[in-house]
A and B are shown apart, each in its own frame.
Chain A
Amino acid sequence: MSVRRVVLVLAAFAVIAAGMVTLFPFQSSSASGYGHEAELVPTDPVPADAIRVCESCDLQQVLDDAPENAVVVVEGGSWSPVTISTPLRLVGIDWPIIDAEGKGSGIVIDSPDVTVEGFDIRNTGRSFDKEDSGVYFEGERVRVLNNRLTEVLFGVNGAIGHDSEIAGNYITGQEGVSEGLRGDAIKVWYSHRVQIHHNRVDKSRDLLVWYSNECDVYENIVTNSRYGFHFMNSDDGNASRNAMANNSVGIYIMYGKHFTVEDNLLQSSRGPSGHGIGLKEVDGFAVRGNVIYDNRIGIYNDNSPYSIGEYGIVSGNVIAYNDSGVGVLPSSRSTTYFRNSFVENLEQVTVLGGGPLSLANAWSQNNVGNYWSDYTGYDADGDGIGDIPYRNGALTEQIRRSHPQLQLFRFSLAETAVDFAAQAVPLFEVKSILEDQNPLVRPPEVTNAPEVWHEQNPNRSIGITVLLLVGVGASMWWAMGPSRDANTMTEQA
């Protein structure tokens, strides 16, 4: 074998290794697959007697002069910010642009019963004091439909606007601004019965519903923001079929009563908080049928339900591949968890801050428990329910709770050995933090939640793998094949 061969074989390995590193840099499961379009919601047809705004008209003047309940149509073009003070319907066709040129808000609505649809609103100011917004409204029954809002501080910002509707908007914050310094894509303040749906939000701060009761939030897609949705002091809210990915927190509910969180996808919430669903002192909640995937903590429960006699139901969720499936503070109680699938979470259930989990939480209802991927029991009578209870908690989990610095040894063989020894030779009892008397042996039916978004590129993987195999095979064959040098070498010797 010649020197050249050795060098080439070693080089081949180096190239393979370097190739792996460069071709597989870490990618968070970026949610770019959702695209940058909102699904538009159907709107009423434009009537024949609509006021059509000419190209050279002053849009503000037209709006001021328009009679009540008029329909004003703008076709394309670029316009200055406007204020609407009469109940009317403003329709944009071919995406007319409203450019605030970095000052103030785009469209300010100062009247009830106003509808704005089909506008492309850009470049609002940067003042948090004045809450510069793409669309700002104060008025009941306002509808903000199918707009595009880019480079805005706040997106759609409403106050005292009961029975309003915010739907089909695409909203994105300013590029290159850290999430804490962005505004909120949608903010609703003291506005009851607001419908927020089919919006597509990217790179914003929060989506807030504050002091607003009976709001419905459904089929929105929120990515790369801080809070997917944040309900605060709002009662009887409902969030369903939303897809929240790559946010710091998926859906966070604080201090309200009677919430339903149903069929949402909460994926990769990995910010400083990193909660899929957070429940803080919420009185009465039903978390049903959500897919909670790859979050730091899937469901975070801080003292909910808060008042005596209130309920908490967590059922039918798929809680998979989170660092902690469910993280609860020790004070949390009166919550029933059943029919959930706990799949491959690094820790299925964690009590945050240590201590045992209150016995006032139930892990099964009517003899139906949860599916646990690490359940090691059996189901001899074939009724779908395991015959021995599921107990949570490995010895190292228990040690880690009191000595958090030992998290450094996660996935080490030492840790595996400790757990194995604790199981094989149970000299002392590992305190399990929960016991599911009726564990399911098969996961219940999957839900109506949006599908988990995977960055799939099998072709690239196949290519790289085949290249790797061929490369290794060829270099080995070449390295070991007969060579003339060997003979010359022997002769020389």
Chain B
Amino acid sequence: MSLRTVATLTQQELLDALRNKWFVAYAIAFVLLCVGLAMMIINSAGYTGISGFGRTAAGLINLVLFLAPLMGLTLGAQALATEREQGTLAYMLAQPVSLAEVFMAKFFGLAIAMSAAVSIGFSLSSLAIIYWSGGTGVDVFLRLLPLTLLLTLSTLSIGLIISAQASKTVTALGLAVVTWLLLVLIGSLGIMGMSIVVGLSPTVLLIGSVINPLEAFRIGAVLQIRGSLELLGPAGLVARDRIGDMTTAVLTLVMIVWIIGGAFVAYLLARRKEFQ
């Protein structure tokens, strides 16, 4: 495997990302929504002149949970499927490049493009807050950036798993949306329902939730913004007492495992699909 080939293909992938209307739409939506939320955060403080972390600022967690996985999953799911459908993947593999190189380039190219979109969204909203409110509350955005990047990449890896299997873009996109619903809503609702019916212990509840990278992000975000997990009730206290200072590290690790593990699984699946 030649790193130089990977690099060249990564560059190609970046250029493709910019030409991809989906990506551009996501990036613009993300930036606009972030800045809009920043305005709302400033406004919510406006009357009393006091700013802080309230319901509006908590909306940022919701915004990220909504948009970042959608972006990662759908773009990731399209990545190989589209090329496969158009026949360009087979064409490319007929050249002296390996599937591993193509796959790595897909991953890195999309990772860089999406990280850039997220970073730009966050930094523009920070600037908006600084400009209009003199800097109070700006920390919320900057503190969430690393976790948001990790979340985006985790969902990218999951998207690539879908992409490795799907032969058509439409199938891939459909699966991506279903997966998104599963991760965002159904998973949590399921655990919530089970907890009410069966009465899960806080530890089980915590572990069951944290496996989901979205939940890992959310818990990490609460920890970053509030400095403690006591807002999250008994399960939060379990995390505080059992894991303590390592909580952020554990949550980060969960997401990194999803990123690397997911990408690796996706590669294995893609190889099986192409060379079977």
Contact = CB atoms under 8 A, between A and B. Distances in A.
A479 to B, nearest CB: 6
B149 A410 contact: no
Given A17-B146, A483-B11, A486-B11, A320 B48 contact: yes
A410 B232 contact: yes
Contacts of B200: 405
A489 B8 contact: yes
Interface string A391-422: 00000000110011111111111111110000
Interface string B209-246: 10000010011011110011011111110000000000
Contact of A457 (B48, B115, B135): B135
A397 to B, nearest CB: 12
Interface residues of B, number: 81
A437 B146 CA distance: 45
Contact of A465 (B142, B149, B218, B236): B142
B135 A472 contact: no
B82 interface: no
Q: Is the interface of B mostly helix, strand, loop or mixed?
A: helix
Contacts of A332: none
A1 B11 contact: yes
B112 A411 contact: no
A325 to B, nearest CB: 10
A476 B50 contact: no
B50 A291 contact: yes
Given A346-B58, A373-B44, A24 B231 contact: no
Contact of B188 (A1, A414, A465): A414
Given A405-B200, A472-B120, A20 B145 contact: yes
A344 B137 CA distance: 14
B7 A3 contact: yes
Contacts of A21: 146
B49 interface: yes
A294 interface: yes
B134 A458 contact: yes
A416 to B, nearest CB: 6
Interface string B41-61: 000110111111111111001
B135 A408 contact: no
Contact of A413 (B145, B149, B184): B184
B263 interface: no
A3 B4 contact: yes
A318 B48 contact: yes
A155 to B, nearest CB: 29
Interface in A434-484: 442-443, 446, 452, 454, 456-458, 461-462, 464-466, 468-469, 472, 475-476, 479-480, 483
Scoring B48, B142, B232 by chain A CB atoms within 10 A of each residue's CB, the highest score goes to B48
Given A26-B224, A469-B120, A409 B188 contact: yes
Nearest to A396: B192
Nearest to A464: B142
A374 B119 CA distance: 30
A341 B108 contact: no
Q: Which 6 A-B pairs have the closest CB atoms?
A: A344-B54, A407-B233, A458-B135, A321-B52, A414-B188, A26-B227
Interface of A: 1-3, 5-6, 9-10, 13, 16-18, 20-21, 23-24, 26-28, 270, 291, 293-294, 296, 318, 320-321, 323, 341, 343-346, 373-374, 399-400, 403-418, 442-443, 446, 452, 454, 456-458, 461-462, 464-466, 468-469, 472, 475-476, 479-480, 483, 485-486, 489, 493
20 contacts: A6-B3, A6-B108, A10-B108, A13-B119, A24-B143, A294-B52, A294-B53, A320-B52, A321-B53, A343-B48, A343-B50, A407-B232, A407-B235, A408-B219, A408-B235, A442-B47, A446-B49, A457-B135, A468-B119, A468-B145
